[in-house]
């Protein structure tokens, strides 16, 4: 199996738009019964995304948990800024700037890019890294951040 990497390029430079896009993609994967790890940049972003996953849209329901030492194998959506839980293997949605150390354990990686220069530069480095490792790369230029 070759990991597929999808880069979603948003027309916005607003960090909150990127986070909301992550919520919509997480919800979509959850509805498809996939296991998701939403990788964040920090503990602060863990808390932000934890709140957003409950409130990003009226009627949304994405049960999730922040990664801890005692991971429940029945939880399908995890978020955190460190190592992914061992129970997750389908989708990694990356909000962090760094290259996930365990990227090869996922069937699919979703990279969210916006028009912020720092975010774009880090995404370019991840793109090169994934390409060097022979992953399937796809880029989707969004006209809006609605997915």
Q: Which residues are within 8 A (CB) of 106 and not within 5 positions of it... i.e. 6 or more apart? A: 3, 37, 84, 88, 89, 90, 91, 92
Find out whether 111 and 7 touch, Cβ atoms under 8 Å.
yes
- The three-class DSSP label of residue 8 is strand
List pLDDT tens digits, range 69-127.
666 778 899 999 987 777 767 999 999 999 888 888 899 999 999 999 999 999 999 99
Find out whether 84 and 92 touch, Cβ atoms under 8 Å.
yes
Q: Which residues are within 8 A (CB) of 142 and not within 5 positions of it... i.e. 6 or more apart? A: 8, 9, 10, 11, 21
List pLDDT tens digits, range 38-79.
999 999 999 999 999 998 988 888 999 888 766 677 889 999
DSSP state of 146: -
Q: Can you give the residue ranges of every domain in the chain?
A: 4-141
| Sign of the CA dihedral with 110 first, then 116, 122, and 127 last | positive
Please give the CATH topology (third level) of the domain spanning 4-141. Answer: Rossmann fold (3.40.50)
What's this model's pTM, rounded to 2 decimal places?
0.92
């Amino acid at each position: 199996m070759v990991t597929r990497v999808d880069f979603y390029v948003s027309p916005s430079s607003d960090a909150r738009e990127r986070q909301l896009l992550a919520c919509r993609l997480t919800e979509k994967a959850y509805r498809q019964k996939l296991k998701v790890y939403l990788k964040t940049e920090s503990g602060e972003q863990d808390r932000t995304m934890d709140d957003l996953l409950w409130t990003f849209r009226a009627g949304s329901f994405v049960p999730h948990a922040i990664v801890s030492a005692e991971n429940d194998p029945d939880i399908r959506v995890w978020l955190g800024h460190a190592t992914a839980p061992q129970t997750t293997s389908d989708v990694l949605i990356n909000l962090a700037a760094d290259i996930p150390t365990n990227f090869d354990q996922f069937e699919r990686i979703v990279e969210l890019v916006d028009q912020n220069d720092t975010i774009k530069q880090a995404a370019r480095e991840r793109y090169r890294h994934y390409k060097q490792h022979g992953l399937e790369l796809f880029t989707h230029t969004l006209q809006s951040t609605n997915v």
